[in-house]
């Protein structure tokens, strides 16, 4: 992997982290009136997968999609404006945090209903196959979405049709307040189940941005060579509460110790240590990456503040009316 790619992956994680931590910081101003599911701690997958996908590859995502959107090349001001419910938002202020859509970067939508975007992603893959395009459809899912019936149906369909689909599972071990251990059988790893359903599958460290990037690139290349769908499970951890800006380790569903153990495996810190050792990053470069990110984030919030609310007469207008798909 070249030096430039390594720095880009690191910088992308820093940017995603700052965007979300700024949302958390400003959330109590009551200007962001939609629920927000932050992915602080999970930035490696967003940065790496987003960079491994090409612009023409399409992605669908979940309620926790800020990082996925920004990783895919999403526009920060338009995302923040969307969360502010403003007309300048990527979904014209009608969707909020859980309904980000931006066709210009191939981000085909996130939805609040768990599992809802899985068959949409398969449909995109089917269209690509029929059109003989050389692109892929990436379906982001959490470990909880695996338990939805539609996941099994979609995996079966994609395997049977050899569709150009990448299933990208961020296993953060929780679905709201329920740990994986009370939801899925012991000793039955998710990726093993999917492998048995007919899709080549892999499990890896979701906090190692370089490993995620390499594995995702390799899988995309196999899919593009006609190798059929792939399933990647990356283990990671969300630092903040399921929904909202706070920490919630005090409410009893997980321990502070578990959280601290994962915090030590902070994907940004791990990448920083590696790149400092390799003399790719310096203290000065880290400072300038952070400074640049701060400028971008400040600008995005200013844009959102200034953008008007959607007009009443546009309430029932399709935001993509007239757009060619
Ligand atoms: C069909 C459906 N069932 C339940 C919910 C409530 N719900 C919202 S997010 C969520 C957790 C999903 O967990 P996971 O897929 O692991 O994603 P994570 O929140 O960990 O990123 C649940 C159960 C929902 N939105 N839709
Ligand atoms: Mg989860």
DSSP 218-260: HHHHHIIIII--EEEEEE----S-SSSSS--GGGSSS-HHHHH
Ligand 1 centroid vs 62 CA: distance in angstroms? Answer: 9
- Which atom, in ligand 1's list, is nearest to the CA of 116? 1
- How do residues 214-260 score in pLDDT, each as one tens digit? 999 999 999 999 999 999 999 999 999 999 999 999 999 999 999 99
Sign of CA dihedral 321, 111, 216, 265: positive
| 8 A C-beta contact, residue 158 and residue 122 | yes
Residue corresponding to tokens 């940017």? 15
Is the entire prediction scored with pTM above 0.95?
yes
Q: Which ligand is nearest to the CA of 118?
A: 1
Residues recorded for the chain: 325
Residue 153: burial class (beta carbons within 10 Å; 0-12, 13-18, 19+): middle
Ligand 1 centroid vs 150 CA: distance in angstroms? Answer: 14
pLDDT at 181: 95
Site to probe by mutation for ligand 1, drawn from 37, 63, 117, 169 as the one with most ligand atoms within 8 Å of Cβ, is 63
Q: Which residue's C-alpha comes closest to atom 17 of ligand 1?
A: 142
Q: Which residues surround ligand 2, an ion (CB under 5 A)?
A: 142-144, 172, 174
| 8 A C-beta contact, residue 66 and residue 21 | no
Ligand 2 centroid vs 10 CA: distance in angstroms? Answer: 24
Helical (H) or strand (E) element with 175: strand 174-175
Architecture of domain 3-309: 3-Layer(aba) Sandwich (3.40)
| 8 A C-beta contact, residue 236 and residue 172 | yes
- Which atom, in ligand 1's list, is nearest to the CA of 143? 16
CA distances from 288 to 103, 130, 247, 281, 295 (A): 31, 46, 29, 11, 11
The DSSP letter of residue 53 is: S
pLDDT at 19: 98
Q: Which residues of the chain have pLDDT under 50?
A: none
Ligand 1 centroid vs 318 CA: distance in angstroms? Answer: 27
Q: In what order do the strands lie in the sheet with 107-110?
A: 107-110, 58-61, 137-142, 165-171, 230-235, 200-205
Ligand 1 centroid vs 181 CA: distance in angstroms? Answer: 16
Residue 26: burial class (beta carbons within 10 Å; 0-12, 13-18, 19+): middle
Residues with CB under 6 A from ligand 1: 63-64, 112-115, 142-145, 172, 174-176, 242
pLDDT at 324: 66
DSSP codes of every residue in 285-309:
HHHHHHHHHHHHHHHHHHHHHHSPP
Q: How far is Cα 151 from Cα 174, in angstroms, rounded to an integer? A: 17
The DSSP letter of residue 115 is: T
Q: How far is Cα 56 from Cα 108, in angstroms, rounded to an integer? A: 11
Q: Which residue's C-alpha comes closest to atom 6 of ligand 1?
A: 114
Which of 202, 64, 70, 74 lies closest to 142, judged by CA? 64
Question: Structure tokens of 61?
Answer: 């995502």
Ligand 1 centroid vs 129 CA: distance in angstroms? Answer: 30
Question: Structure tokens of 322?
Answer: 């007239």
pLDDT at 325: 62
């Amino acid at each position: 992997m070249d030096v430039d790619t390594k720095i880009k992956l690191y910088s992308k994680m820093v940017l995603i982290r700052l965007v979300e931590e700024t949302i958390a910081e400003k959330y109590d101003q009551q200007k962001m009136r939609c629920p927000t599911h932050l992915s602080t701690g999970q930035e490696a997958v967003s940065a790496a997968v987003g960079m491994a996908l090409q612009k023409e590859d399409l992605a669908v995502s979940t309620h926790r999609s800020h990082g996925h959107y920004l990783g895919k090349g999403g526009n920060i001001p338009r995302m923040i404006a969307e969360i502010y419910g403003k007309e300048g938002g990527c979904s014209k202020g009608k969707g909020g945090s859980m309904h980000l859509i931006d066709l210009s970067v191939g981000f085909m939508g996130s939805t609040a209903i768990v599992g809802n975007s899985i068959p949409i992603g398969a449909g995109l893959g089917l269209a690509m196959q029929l059109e003989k395009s050389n692109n892929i459809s990436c379906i982001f899912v959490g470990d909880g979405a695996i338990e939805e019936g539609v996941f099994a149906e979609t995996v079966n369909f994609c395997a049977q049709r050899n569709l150009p689909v990448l299933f990208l599972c961020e296993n953060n071990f929780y679905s709201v307040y329920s740990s994986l251990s009370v939801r899925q059988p012991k000793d039955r790893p998710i990726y093993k189940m999917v492998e048995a359903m007919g899709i080549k599958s892999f499990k890896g460290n979701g906090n190692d941005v370089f490993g995620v990037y390499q594995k995702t690139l390799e899988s995309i290349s196999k899919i593009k060579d006609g190798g059929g769908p792939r399933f990647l499970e990356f283990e990671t951890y969300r630092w903040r509460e399921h929904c909202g800006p706070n920490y919630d380790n005090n409410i009893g569903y997980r321990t502070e110790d578990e959280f601290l153990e994962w915090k030590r495996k902070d994907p940004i810190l791990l990448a920083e240590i590696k790149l400092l050792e390799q003399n790719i990053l310096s203290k000065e470069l880290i400072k300038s990456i952070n400074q640049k990110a701060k400028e971008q984030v400040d600008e995005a919030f200013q844009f959102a503040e200034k953008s008007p609310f959607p007009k009443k007469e546009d309430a029932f207008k399709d935001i993509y009316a007239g757009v060619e798909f």
